[in-house]
Structure 1
Amino acid sequence: MRILRRRSPEQQGRHTPNLWPVWLVAPVSLILVALLAYGLYHGVDAFLTAENPGKKPVSGQDNIKVTVTALTLVGAVLAGLYAYRKQLLDEGSSHRADAMQLAERYTKAAEQLGHEQAAVRLAGVYAMARLADDWQEQRQVCVNVLCAYLRMPYETDTGSEGYMKGEREVRLTIIRTIRDHLQDPTSATSWCGRDLDFTGAVLDGGDFENAKFTGGLVTFTRAKFTGGLVTFTHADFTGGTVDFNGADFTGGTVDFSRARFTGGTVDFSRARFTGGTVDFSVTDFSGGIVAFNQARFSGGTVDFRDAKFFSGMVLFHFAALDGGRVTFDGAQLSGSTVSFFGAILSDGMVALENVLISDGALRLDNVLISDGTVSFIGAALSGGTVTFADTTLSGGTLDFENTTLADGTLTFDGATLPGSGTTVDANNILIHAACAIEWGPLPTIPVNQP
């Protein structure tokens, strides 16, 4: 009967090297040592004889002493190499044990996240976050798992068949956990600069207050904001990108109030606003870009009330406003660009009321205004530029009531009024001689202040 020899399973990762059998290594080693000793003995004899020409011949005892000393040194070196090899093997075993333990923790946390009971899923959230802190090499993987959970189908209607009790709290906990790891970029367990992928997630709340976005990509592409409050208040945006491209805002509030933009990009391009509010009130813009390019507004509000624009850009290029409100009430524009180039205003309002423009540019170039209102009520232009170049005014209202044009440039150069129907309200407008104005097709309003 043949006895099949079982092969040991291959070890994964770092492993102990294959060793030669002792019955082969021992005689080979003895032969090599004997040859080395023989060579050393005769070599030492020849060396010592050459060093002592014409003198008494070197005794065999002296040769043996030198040979033994040399062999001892060789043995010490070999012992050191053996000890070093043994240390490497011990470290390899330790690494394998650590890797196995981390892998087991990962598997357990992932199983908890898939459990039916919300309490167990919550435990899985905390377990995965702790694992991310301990496992730096796979930290992004652990973060990806938590983000993937938020991308899973989520039913917010308590009366729906797919509704899961406690699921909202699990999701809010994940977001709070991510926020807690975005507070200090210098922390050893910081997740700042990591990619956070919420693509297509359904969000009815979440807290990113005081988060530091210093790099990486945070994406809410095609996410659905259906209600509740998602807050980025007091957050710092100094690099990277926060991407809301194609997101749906049907209710609730996304709050960036008192946030600081010193770099990076927040991108709402192609987003759809049918309800709810995106709030940038009292926000500081000293760099970076906020883009609403090709966004669609049929309801809801985007609010830049009392924001301060010192540099950077806010762009509404080719946006469509057929409802809703974009407001800059009380904002200060002193070194930035706000541009609605190519936008279509067929309803709703762009409110620039009580805006102070002392530098920078407010551009409404190539805009089609067929209805709705662009309001400058109470605004003050003391520098910078406001342009309606090549804009088509075929309806709606331009309201300059109580506006002060003290300095800078206001131009409607190239604008057209096909079929009229546009209302221009210039009640109590104050125009200083220092302000350069090109009224284009609009009725000229004479200077009424020295």
Structure 2
Amino acid sequence: MFVRVAVGAVVATRNRRLPHPVLSVMTANRRPRPAPNDRELRLWKVGRALTWAFAAAVLVSGGIFYGLVVLLDFKEIDTTTKLDAKTLFDLVKLSFGVVAGAGALVALVVAYRRQRVDEAGAHREATRLHAERFSQAVDKLGSDSPAVRLGGVHALSGLADDAPTQDLRQTCIDVLCAYLQLPFTPDPGNSDPAHQERHHRYLALRKVRHTILRLISDHYRRPMGTHRSWQGCDLDLSGVTIDCTMDFSEAVFPRGTVNFSGAVFPGGALHFNRAVFCGGAVYFGDAVFSGSAVYFSGAAFSGGTMHFTDAVFSGGTVYFSGAVFSGGTVHFSDAVFSGGTAHFSDAVFCGSTVHFRDALFRGGAVYFRGAVFSGGTVHFRDAVFSGGTMNFRGAVFSGSTVHFRGVTGPVPEGLLSAVGIPVPATVALAAAWLPERT
């Protein structure tokens, strides 16, 4: 019953356009969308429509007539002093033709208006049916039965696919995200027979959560513009515990906001292999990677912004191997690498601005082996290297501006040999790392 009330509150809150803590980040970053019924208000009155239609018809006819005169190179028009029978008959035919054309123009304008009215009526009917289905799906999502909730999840997913407007689709996605952000009772364990029923209920409700996460990633992998694609929609998974596999491989993020801020990744895997980040914003700020494997292998960062600010990498593995940073901005500022492994091996930095400012490397391993710095800017200013492994073996510095000034700690393995002597003007090393002059 608690879930039903909470989800209903989120839905009602969104419909009233009031702030809600669950949707605060997404609402703040969402661009305003036109109201879904705006197109119904753009019909002109009949008199105005006919006036403009006749004026346009006269202008077009006059233009065509003048063009034919010029094209056929007429010098002058013969005139006669008498109105013979043939000329009179031609004038009568011309009069009837003008009247018939005017009638056809009126019929065209009326038919156009009727078509627009029919389309508006169909739109209102589709919106009404959507509202009815939405209410039924949310009611299922708030059921006490996990099986009924699972049905509500699939109903909302299908409703988002069939939504008549982007705004209504976004509402369905928001409700699914809000369900994931609701608090849940942790697993009591299966060792005590008295807790077995609670353990089984926990597993059933976890299945509901995992189904939502799977459906979200499945829809984001579908190419934009195709049926059932959610690319370009906002996605707010801030604070959510993601302990299963989500696959965004080859997804395109051209706009909108995808928010994993404060999310916890204790296990499973998150795939962004060969994904394209060409606009919008993706947030992993304050996220905790404590056991998952996160893959950005072969991903292309060509625009927009990606934030790992204050993220904590305390376990698991994060792969940026072979990623191409050719545009936009990627922030690892104040991130903490205290365990696990982060791979930037063979990554190409050729145009983006990548920030590792004030990042803390005190454990685990971070690899830049074979990375190519050929453009853009990479900042390690004021970062702290206090433990673990930092490896730049085989890296190529051929054009990027790379800053290590203010860095605390020993020089990373292989960095000086990769930079070369003399140090290129585009690479600024910490003072303690500079080779001694002889």
Distance of aligned partners of 1:129 and 1:373 in 2 relative to their CA distance in 1, 3 Å threshold: same
Distance of aligned partners of 1:252 and 1:81 in 2 relative to their CA distance in 1, 3 Å threshold: closer
Q: Where do 5+ consecutive residues of structure 1 fail to align?
A: 1-12, 14-79, 382-403, 417-423, 425-438
Q: Is the 8 A contact 1:214 1:238 kept in 2?
A: yes
Mapped to 2, the partners of 1:373 and 1:411 lie a distance apart of 14
The answer to which of 176-185 and 253-262 deviates more is 176-185
Counterpart residue identity of residue 408, structure 1: P
Of structures 1 and 2, the one scoring higher in RCO (CA 8 A, sep 6+) is: 2
Q: Is the 8 A contact 1:356 1:379 kept in 2?
A: no
Match of 2:176 in 1: 146
Deviation at 1:411, TM superposition (A): 6.8
Deviation at 1:109, TM superposition (A): 1.4
Distance of aligned partners of 1:167 and 1:352 in 2 relative to their CA distance in 1, 3 Å threshold: farther
Please state whether the residue corresponding to 2:402 is helix, strand or coil: strand
The answer to which of 137-146 and 349-358 deviates more is 349-358
Deviation at 1:225, TM superposition (A): 1.0
Mapped to 1, the partners of 2:430 and 2:320 lie a distance apart of 32
Match of 2:320 in 1: 280
Please state whether the residue corresponding to 1:107 is helix, strand or coil: helix
Deviation at 1:129, TM superposition (A): 1.7
Is 1:181 aligned to 2:181, yes or no?
no
Match of 1:105 in 2: 133
Mapped to 2, the partners of 1:315 and 1:242 lie a distance apart of 15
* 1:101-250 equivalences in 2 (<5 Å): 101-137=129-165, 138-154=168-184, 157=187, 159=189, 164-182=202-220, 183-187=222-226, 189-205=228-244, 206-250=246-290
Q: Is the 8 A contact 1:342 1:368 kept in 2?
A: yes
Deviation readout 1:121-175 (Å, 9 max, x if unpaired):
3332222122112223311101111111222235664618576223444333323
Is the helix fraction higher in 1 or 2? 2
Is 1:375 aligned to 2:368, yes or no?
no
Mapped to 2, the partners of 1:243 and 1:172 lie a distance apart of 21
Is 1:304 aligned to 2:344, yes or no?
yes
CA RMSD of aligned residues (A): 3.4
Match of 1:318 in 2: 358
Match of 1:348 in 2: 388
Match of 1:8 in 2: none
Is the strand fraction higher in 1 or 2? 1
Counterpart residue identity of residue 203, structure 2: K
The answer to which of 181-190 and 277-286 deviates more is 181-190
Please state whether the residue corresponding to 1:227 is helix, strand or coil: coil
Mapped to 1, the partners of 2:375 and 2:308 lie a distance apart of 22
Distance of aligned partners of 1:107 and 1:299 in 2 relative to their CA distance in 1, 3 Å threshold: same
TM normalised by structure 1 equals 0.63
Deviation at 1:119, TM superposition (A): 3.7
Deviation at 1:379, TM superposition (A): 4.8
Deviation readout 1:170-197 (Å, 9 max, x if unpaired):
3333233223333312325432221100
Counterpart residue identity of residue 436, structure 2: P
* 1:428-443 equivalences in 2 (<5 Å): 439=434, 442-443=435-436
Mapped to 1, the partners of 2:120 and 2:225 lie a distance apart of 30
Deviation at 1:340, TM superposition (A): 0.8
Q: Where do 5+ consecutive residues of structure 2 fail to align?
A: 1-36, 38-107, 190-194
Q: Is the 8 A contact 2:404 2:430 kept in 1?
A: no
Mapped to 1, the partners of 2:319 and 2:150 lie a distance apart of 30
Number of equivalenced pairs? 323
Q: Is the 8 A contact 2:187 2:202 kept in 1?
A: no
Distance of aligned partners of 1:108 and 1:322 in 2 relative to their CA distance in 1, 3 Å threshold: same
Q: Is the 8 A contact 1:257 1:283 kept in 2?
A: yes
Deviation readout 1:205-238 (Å, 9 max, x if unpaired):
2221221111111111111111111111121101
Distance of aligned partners of 1:409 and 1:113 in 2 relative to their CA distance in 1, 3 Å threshold: same
Please state whether the residue corresponding to 1:408 is helix, strand or coil: coil
Q: Is the 8 A contact 2:369 2:393 kept in 1?
A: yes
The answer to which of 210-219 and 326-335 deviates more is 326-335
Distance of aligned partners of 1:86 and 1:214 in 2 relative to their CA distance in 1, 3 Å threshold: closer
Match of 1:261 in 2: 301
Distance of aligned partners of 1:412 and 1:364 in 2 relative to their CA distance in 1, 3 Å threshold: closer
Please state whether the residue corresponding to 1:234 is helix, strand or coil: coil
The structure with the largest alpha-carbon Rg is: 1
Match of 2:424 in 1: 408
Q: Is the 8 A contact 1:349 1:373 kept in 2?
A: no
The answer to which of 329-338 and 237-246 deviates more is 329-338
Match of 1:331 in 2: 371
Deviation at 1:304, TM superposition (A): 0.6
Mapped to 2, the partners of 1:92 and 1:186 lie a distance apart of 23
Q: Is the 8 A contact 2:143 2:149 kept in 1?
A: yes
